[in-house]
Amino acid sequence: MKKLNLLLVLVLVLTTVLAGCGNGSAPAEKPAAEQPKGEAPDAEPEKVLADDQTLIVGTDAEPAGIDPHKSTAFSSVRITNKLYESLVQTDENMNIVPSLAESWEIPDNTTYVFKLKEGVKFHNGREMKADDVKYSFERILNPDNACIAKSYFKTLSEINVKDEYTVEFKLSEPYAPFMSYLTSVYASIVPKEVVEENGDLMQVECGTGPFTLGEWVPDNQMTLVKNPEYHIEGLPKLDSVKLMVMTDESSRLAALRTGAVHLTTLGSQNLELVKNNEDIVIKSYQSKDYTYLGFNTTIEPFNDARVRQAMSLAVDRNEIAKIVFNGDAVVSGPVPPAFGKWALNVEKNEYFNQDIERAKELLKEAGYENGFEVEITVPSAYPEVVSTAQVLIQQFEKIGITATIKQLEIGQYVEAWKTLDHQVMAGKNGSGTDPDRALSFFFNTDGSANVWGFSDETFDGLVNEGKITVDTDERVSLYLDAQEKLFELSPNLFFNAPMKYYFVRSNVEGFNPNVFNSEDLRYIQIYK
Amino acid sequence: MRSYITRRLLLFIPVLIGISLAVFLLMHLIPGDAVDSLLGVEATDELREQLTKQFGLDLPWYEQYFNWISGVLKGDFGYSIRTGKAILPEILSRFKVTFELSILSSIISWIIAIPLGILAAVKRNTWADGLARVVALFWVSIPNFALVTLLLLFLSLQFNYYPALQYTAFFDNPVQNLKTLIFPALVLGAIMAGSVMRMTRSSMLEVLRQDFIRTIRAKGAKEKVVIFKHALKNSFSPIITIIGMQIGYLLGGTVITEQIFSLPGLGLFILTGINQRDYPVVQGSILFFALVFVIINLIVDILYACIDPRISYK
C-alpha cells in the first residue's frame, strides 16, 4: 500500500505542475529574456561558424509531390524551387536576371534567343544543354501531362535548338508577359531520362538547383543536401537543410524558442511574444498577396457600378490594416506596391478613401437609399479574411448596408467561388510576377479566374494591349490606366497587402527574404 | 469458441461493406472536389477536365465505387490524388507510429489508473479516495489539445527543451523513438487514465460489496488476497471493455496530439486527406481503421471469456 501512496503522490505532482503551468497570465508571455544563456549583448563575442551547417526549418505543410511542372501547392513550390531552376529569375526590384540562361536577345517581338550557361550539371551528373530546355517546354505544353504552366505559354509555337547552348523560342503573336512567366518554378528545366525512367517527378528529383533531395519521411521530415557541383561557386553555404513538418503554430514557436528549429514562418500575432527574446530575429517583407471583397456582378444590386463604388467609398482601409493586421499591412490594389512602377498609387485614388456622404449619394442615385442586406461569404481557413469581413460589417453599417458573414470550409468556398454561388465574397489573392497575371487573369472578360461575371470593353482593351506591348514604359502606362478603370468600376474592393514574417534564430545569418524570392537559403550560414 | 470466432469474422464482411459505402458517399457528397483543391485558382478548365478524367472522377459514382472496392479486395488501395503515392504502404507506415503511440499511452494509463482505482475503492471515502477522484476528474475533463499545448510550453519555457522532432522507428533506435513518443504518450495516457481509473473504482466497489467477498474475508483470507485475487479479477470485465474502446479510438489516429507533436501518424494523414478531398486516401484509411476497430472488439469479447469462466461462446 505504501507503493500505491507513493504513486499517488507522483501522479499528483505531475498534474499540479502541468496545471500550474497554465495559471495566471498566458505562459507564452513569460519574459523571453530569461531564456538566453549566452553573453550580454554588449560584449559582442567573436562569431564562430557552427560545426554542423544543417539548417532546421519548421514548415507548416507536407509537400504534395515535388514535380516542378505539376506540383502547385506552396508546400511543394518551396521545395521544388530549391531543387530546380528556370532559364531566368526575378531580382528584388522585379528585374529579370540570368539563371540557367546567361544572356538573351529579343530580335523581334515574337522571337527570344537564350544562350545557356555552360557547365551546369543536373544532380545525376549530366550537363544541362539546349535539348533539355526543348524537352522541358514540350513536356509543359503536352496536354496529357496536365502541367500548370501550359496556360502561361499558349503563344509558344516553336522551340528550336540552335546549338548545344543556344535555344530559340518563337511565339505565335507578341506576348509581353512571356519573360516573367519564364521565371516561374513551373517552367523549370528537367532532364528527359529521369522523367522517362520514373513516369513523372512527383517522388524523385533531378534538377540543377543548389540542393538535392536526401531522406524524405512523409508527414515528418525532408532533408535537402548541398549540391557540391552547383554552378555558382561557393554556394550553397549550408551542408544540408532539414524541413520538419510541424502543422501546429504553437509547436513551431515552442521549437524555435528552444532552438530545435532555426527558421520558421508564424503569424504576426506571435511578434509580441518574442520581442524580448534575443535569440530570435524577425525577417519581414511586403507580400504581394492582397485581401479583397468580390461582387457577383450578375445579380442585383451589385450589377450597378454605383452600388459597388458606394461600398468602396464606405470602407476605411487603414482601419482594417490596423485592426486585422496590427498595422503591419499597406493599402493595396491587385497590383501591390511591391510591383514598384507597375502599381498605381492607390492612396491617391478617390475610391480608396472613405467618403461616407458620397457613398450615401451614390446609393441614393442607384435607388438603394435605405440600404440593403448582404451576405459575405468567407473561407474559415483564412482568419485574416474572416476578421476583415467583420470590420467591413461595421463600416457598411454607416451607409445603411446590413452585412452578415457566412463562413465556409475551403473546399466549399472554392466551389462557391467557381460557380458564382454567392452575393459577395471576401478572400485573398496572390498577384504573380507580372501585372498581366494580376489584372487580366482575374478581371479580363475571358480571364481564367474572372469569377465575378465582370466584363468591360475599355478594361479588356487595355489589358489585351498590355499583353502584346513589349516596350516597358508603354506597357506600364497601359496597366496604370487599366487599374484606374478597374477601381472606377470596382468589381472587387481591394484592401491590404500584409507583411510576411520569418522567425529566425539569431545565430543564422545570410537570410534575406524578398517578395519575389522569399526563401533563398543559398547564402545562409549558422554560427555558434 | 472456434465457431463463434468464425461467425464474428463473417460478420466483418457486411460491416466493412457498409462502412466503405458510407465513407465513399460522404466524401463525394461534400462540396468541392479533389481537382479544385489540387489546382486552386491556377486552374484552367482544360487542366481541370484533364485531371478529372485522369483520376476517373468523371465516371458515375457507382462505377467509381466499384473500381475502388474491387481494387481494395485485391489489396490495392489505389493512389493518392495529392501525392500520386500508393496508399496501402502509406497507411501501414503511419499505422506503425499510431500503434506505438497507442500502446505506449495505454500502458502508461494502466500503470496509473488501475492501482489508483483500486486504492480509491479500498480506501473509499477517505482523503486518498477524494484526491484520486479529483485527479481523475481533472484528467477526464481537460481537453487533450490544452494539456498537450501546456506540456509543450512548459517544457520549452521552463527547461528550454523540445521533444525530438525526427521520428525514428522503435527497432532502429529505441531510445530515440522513446524521446519522440514519451511526451505525447504521457498526455494521452493521463487522459485515458481518468476514465479507466473511474471505471476500476466503481467496478471494484461493486464487487467488494458482494457476498462472496464477505465469505472469503470470513474464512480469514488476507486482505491482499481478497483484493487482488478475488475482487480485482472479478471486476475486470467492464475495465477491459473501456480499455478496448479507448485503444480502438487511439488507433484511429490521435489527430490533435499527432499534429501538435508533428508525429507522422494515421490521424494527420486522414485529416490532410479530408482537407484536400483526397478521396482514395480517406476511404482507404477509414476502411483500415474500421477493420482495426472490429478486430479489437473481437479480441475484447474473447478476453471476456478468458477472464470470466461464466461467459462461454458457443
The yes-or-no verdict on residue A208 having pLDDT over 80 is yes
The yes-or-no verdict on residue A289 having pLDDT over 80 is yes
C-beta atoms of A410 and B32 within 8 A: yes
CATH code where residue A324 lies: 3.10.105.10
How many beta-carbon pairs under 8 angstroms link A with B? 183
3-state SS string for B6-44: HHHHHHHHHHHHHHHHHHHHHHHHCCCCHHHHHHHHHCC
Q: Would you call A352 exposed, middle or buried from its count of C-beta atoms within 10 A (0-12, 13-18, 19+)? A: buried
Cell of A80: 521544388
Tell which residue, A64, A92, A100, has the closest CA to residue A79: A64
Cell of A413: 468556398
How much of chain A, in percent, has pLDDT values that exceed 70?
Answer: 91
Whether A275 is covered by a domain: the verdict is no
Q: Are A470 and A110 spatial neighbours (Cβ–Cβ below 8 Å)?
A: no
Residue A223's DSSP bridge partners are A242
- C-alpha angle with apex A223: A217 to A228, nearest 5 degrees? 145
Whether A217 is covered by a domain: the verdict is no
Whether A236 is covered by a domain: the verdict is no
The yes-or-no verdict on residue A436 having pLDDT over 70 is yes
Residues A434 and A313 in one domain: yes
Spatial distance between the Cα atoms of A422 and A453, rounded to a whole number of angstroms? 12
Residue from A69, A219, A408 to probe the interface with B (highest B Cβ count within 10 Å)? A219
Only one residue has cell 487603414, namely A318
Structural domain span for residue A493: 289-498
The yes-or-no verdict on residue A245 having pLDDT over 60 is yes
Tell which residue, B266, B259, B252, has the closest CA to residue B144: B259
pLDDT value for A191: 93
Residues A190 and A303 in one domain: no
Cell of A122: 543536373
Task: State pLDDT tens for residues A153-204.
Answer: 888 999 999 999 999 999 998 888 899 899 988 899 999 899 888 888 888 8
Whether A32 is covered by a domain: the verdict is no
C-beta atoms of A219 and B54 within 8 A: no
Task: State pLDDT tens for residues A324-352.
Answer: 988 889 999 999 888 888 999 998 899 99
With CA atoms as reference, the chain B residue closest to A37 would be B160
Tell which residue, A517, A50, A501, A504, has the closest CA to residue A237: A50
Q: Give A149 or B115, the one with higher predicted confidence.
A: B115
For residue B252, what pLDDT band results from cuts at 50, 70 and 90?
low
User: Number of H helices and number of E strands within chain A?
Assistant: 15, 21
| H helix or E strand, kind and range, residue A425 | strand A424-430
C-beta atoms of B135 and A5 within 8 A: no
C-beta atoms of A257 and B268 within 8 A: no
DSSP-derived letter for residue B230 is: I
With CA atoms as reference, the chain A residue closest to B89 would be A218
Residues A186 and A294 in one domain: no
Q: End of a domain among A155, A173, A198?
A: A198
Cα atoms in the 13 Å half-sphere on the side-chain side of B98: 29
User: Number of H helices and number of E strands within chain B?
Assistant: 15, 0
Identify all chain A residues contacting B176, using CB atoms and an 8 Å cutoff.
none
Q: End of a domain among A177, A198, A219?
A: A198
pLDDT value for B270: 86
With CA atoms as reference, the chain B residue closest to A65 would be B83
Region of poorest pLDDT, from A382-386, A392-396, A399-403: A382-386
* A64 vs B43, B82, B277: nearest CB: B82
Task: State pLDDT tens for residues B127-169.
Answer: 988 998 998 898 888 887 888 888 888 888 888 888 888 888 8
With CA atoms as reference, the chain A residue closest to B109 would be A11
Spatial distance between the Cα atoms of B34 and B215, rounded to a whole number of angstroms? 67
DSSP A192-253: HHHHHHHSSSSS----SSSEEEEEEETTTEEEEEE-TT-SSTT---SSEEEEEE---HHHHH
The alpha carbons of chain B give a radius of gyration, in whole angstroms, of: 24
For residue A360, what pLDDT band results from cuts at 50, 70 and 90?
very high
The yes-or-no verdict on residue B245 having pLDDT over 50 is yes
Q: Where are the beta strands (DSSP E) in chain B?
A: none
Cell of B267: 490521424
The yes-or-no verdict on residue A445 having pLDDT over 50 is yes
Identify all chain A residues contacting B54, using CB atoms and an 8 Å cutoff.
146
Whether A437 is covered by a domain: the verdict is yes
Residues A194 and A293 in one domain: no
* A202 vs B83, B149, B151: nearest CB: B83
For residue B10, what pLDDT band results from cuts at 50, 70 and 90?
confident
With CA atoms as reference, the chain B residue closest to A429 would be B41
pLDDT value for B249: 73
Region of poorest pLDDT, from A6-15, A32-41, A143-152: A32-41
Spatial distance between the Cα atoms of B73 and A289, rounded to a whole number of angstroms? 46
pLDDT value for B44: 67
The answer for A497, left when phi > 0, alpha when psi is -120 to 50, beta otherwise, is: beta
Only one residue has cell 478521396, namely B279
Residue from B54, B91, B127, B156 to probe the interface with A (highest A Cβ count within 10 Å)? B156
Burial A81-102 (b: 16+ CB within 10 A, else e): bbbbbbbbbbeeebebeebbbe
Q: How confident is the model over A353-378, as a mean pLDDT?
A: 92
Identify all chain B residues contacting A260, using CB atoms and an 8 Å cutoff.
162, 165
* A244 vs B42, B83, B262: nearest CB: B262
Identify all chain A residues contacting B152, using CB atoms and an 8 Å cutoff.
250-251, 254
Cell of A474: 508603354
Distance to chain B for A245, nearest Cα, Å: 6
Residues A318 and A450 in one domain: yes
CATH code where residue A137 lies: 3.90.76.10
DSSP-derived letter for residue B229 is: I
The yes-or-no verdict on residue A485 having pLDDT over 90 is yes
Q: Are B258 and B95 spatial neighbours (Cβ–Cβ below 8 Å)?
A: no
Q: How confident is the model over B223-228, as a mean pLDDT?
A: 85
C-beta atoms of A56 and B165 within 8 A: yes
Spatial distance between the Cα atoms of B89 and B87, rounded to a whole number of angstroms? 6
3-state SS string for B166-191: CCCCCCCCHHHHHHHHHHHHHHHHHH
Residue from B37, B42, B111 to probe the interface with A (highest A Cβ count within 10 Å)? B42
Identify all chain A residues contacting B30, using CB atoms and an 8 Å cutoff.
411-412
Whether A54 is covered by a domain: the verdict is no
Whether A325 is covered by a domain: the verdict is yes
Average pLDDT over all residues of chain A = 85
Q: Are A376 and A385 spatial neighbours (Cβ–Cβ below 8 Å)?
A: no
Distance to chain A for B275, nearest Cα, Å: 7
The yes-or-no verdict on residue B3 having pLDDT over 90 is no
Average pLDDT over all residues of chain B = 84
* Alpha carbon A53 to its chain's center: 27
pLDDT value for B314: 59
Residues A187 and A318 in one domain: no
Residues A189 and A330 in one domain: no
Identify all chain A residues contacting B150, using CB atoms and an 8 Å cutoff.
18, 21-22, 27
pLDDT value for A1: 45
Structural domains in chain B?
A: 87-307 (1.10.3720.10)
Whether A141 is covered by a domain: the verdict is yes
Residue from A251, A279, A292, A448 to probe the interface with B (highest B Cβ count within 10 Å)? A251
Distance to chain A for B198, nearest Cα, Å: 15
pLDDT value for B222: 87
Question: DSSP 3-state assignment of B78?
Answer: coil
Q: Would you call A477 exposed, middle or buried from its count of C-beta atoms within 10 A (0-12, 13-18, 19+)? A: middle
Tell which residue, B126, B246, B251, B273, has the closest CA to residue B190: B246
The yes-or-no verdict on residue B43 having pLDDT over 90 is no
pLDDT value for A70: 83
The alpha carbons of chain A give a radius of gyration, in whole angstroms, of: 26
Residues A182 and A299 in one domain: no
Q: End of a domain among A198, A222, A251?
A: A198
Spatial distance between the Cα atoms of A305 and A457, rounded to a whole number of angstroms? 15
Task: State pLDDT tens for residues B53-111.
Answer: 877 788 888 888 888 888 888 888 888 887 778 889 888 888 888 888 988 999 999 99
pLDDT value for B191: 86
Residue from B92, B165, B180, B197 to probe the interface with A (highest A Cβ count within 10 Å)? B165
The answer for A336, left when phi > 0, alpha when psi is -120 to 50, beta otherwise, is: beta
C-beta atoms of A258 and B156 within 8 A: yes
C-beta atoms of A72 and B84 within 8 A: no
Only one residue has cell 519564364, namely A182
Q: How confident is the model over A309-334, as a mean pLDDT?
A: 91
DSSP A141-198: H-GGG--GGGGGGTTEEEEEEEETTEEEEEESS--TTHHHHHTSGGG----HHHHHHH
Distance to chain B for A513, nearest Cα, Å: 24
Identify all chain B residues contacting A65, using CB atoms and an 8 Å cutoff.
82-84
pTM: 0.78
The yes-or-no verdict on residue B32 having pLDDT over 90 is no
Residue A216's DSSP bridge partners are A222
With CA atoms as reference, the chain A residue closest to B189 would be A11
Structural domain count of chain A: 2
Task: State pLDDT tens for residues B257-308.
Answer: 888 888 888 888 888 888 777 888 888 888 888 888 888 888 888 888 777 7
With CA atoms as reference, the chain B residue closest to A66 would be B83
pLDDT value for A32: 39
Q: Give B249 or B203, the one with higher predicted confidence.
A: B203
* B30 vs A19, A411, A448: nearest CB: A411
Q: Are B164 and B176 spatial neighbours (Cβ–Cβ below 8 Å)?
A: yes
* B157 vs A30, A219, A416: nearest CB: A30
pLDDT value for A13: 47
Phi, psi of B19, deg, nearest 5: -65, -45
Spatial distance between the Cα atoms of B77 and B87, rounded to a whole number of angstroms? 6
- C-alpha angle with apex A492: A489 to A495, nearest 5 degrees? 115
Spatial distance between the Cα atoms of B140 and A7, rounded to a whole number of angstroms? 19
pLDDT value for A219: 79
